Every structure is written in structure tokens, then in C-alpha cells.
């Protein structure tokens, strides 16, 4: 015979505390989107920050117009100063998607709430610029 014990019905097993104002706390996650979805968001006219997390050399060689550069290995040190609004929409990319995924998760871990990772510039079919 199997007995099921209803854990959590009393709330005593919950690991999340409710805020004192009664509102449910939300846990931010990285939102993975396509290049086309990122382009559509850019074209909407709503505010966003476009973040390139590659190296300076890669950035100069080819980038999406309007992007700011914070290399992935400098995210923790520079983000709070250069990206002060933790609720701002941030669209993030790198070369192939690995660094943007790591950097996006780092930003979420730092308290940023609207992180959209669209992977690598190698999959960006739209216009780019270079120095």
C-alpha cells in the first residue's frame, strides 16, 4: 500500500517566503528568443538595451547597430554601473550563443528581470555594421 502525504498544504515546506505586502514574488528567468523576435522587439519603438558580450575585436569587426559592448568576462564587474535599471529590457547576443547564455544567466542572478537572449550574431540575418 502506498500512502501519499500532502506536503506543502500548510505552507510549512515552502522554500519561498511571501513578501509582507501580500504580492507574490516573481523569479526572473532568461527568455530565449529568435533573431527575428529580437528584431521585432527592436522595431517596436519601445525602450531596450542591446548588449553584445563578445570581445572588443569581434565587436569592431561586426556588430548590430546600437549595441553596447560589455565582454562576457566583465559582466559582473560592469553591469550594475553600465546597466543601472534592473527592470530594463536587455537583448543580449554574442557570436554563437554560448557566451550570451552564460552572461544572460549572470544578469538574472544579479537581479535583472527582463533578459532576452537571442544567441549569436552568426545567425543574425539582418543588417550589421563594422569599424
Q: Are strands 49-52 and 114-120 parallel, antiparallel or unpaired?
A: unpaired
Residue 74: Cβ within 10 Å count = 13
Report the candidate in 87, 131, 97 with the shortest Cα–Cα distance to residue 117: 97
The answer to whether the CB of 100 falls within 8 A of the CB of 120 is yes
Round to whole Å and give the CA distance between 88 and 49. 7
Name the residue with cell 550570451. Answer: 100
Catalytic residue among 51, 67, 70, 94: 94
Longest dimension (CA), the chain: 72
Known catalytic residue: 94?
Answer: yes
Which residues carry out catalysis? 94
Amino acid at each position: 500500500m502506498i500512502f501519499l502525504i500532502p506536503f506543502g498544504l500548510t505552507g510549512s515546506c515552502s522554500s519561498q517566503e511571501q513578501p509582507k505586502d501580500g504580492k507574490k514574488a516573481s523569479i526572473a528567468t532568461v527568455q530565449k528568443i529568435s533573431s527575428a523576435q529580437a528584431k521585432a522587439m527592436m522595431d517596436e519603438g519601445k525602450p531596450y538595451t542591446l548588449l553584445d558580450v563578445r570581445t572588443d575585436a569581434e565587436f569592431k569587426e561586426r556588430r548590430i547597430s546600437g549595441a553596447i559592448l560589455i565582454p562576457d568576462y566583465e559582466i559582473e564587474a560592469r553591469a550594475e554601473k553600465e546597466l543601472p535599471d534592473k527592470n530594463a529590457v536587455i537583448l543580449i547576443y554574442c557570436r554563437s550563443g554560448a557566451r550570451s547564455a552564460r552572461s544572460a544567466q549572470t544578469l538574472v542572478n544579479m537581479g535583472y528581470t527582463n533578459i532576452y537572449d537571442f544567441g549569436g550574431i552568426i545567425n543574425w540575418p539582418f543588417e550589421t555594421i563594422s569599424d
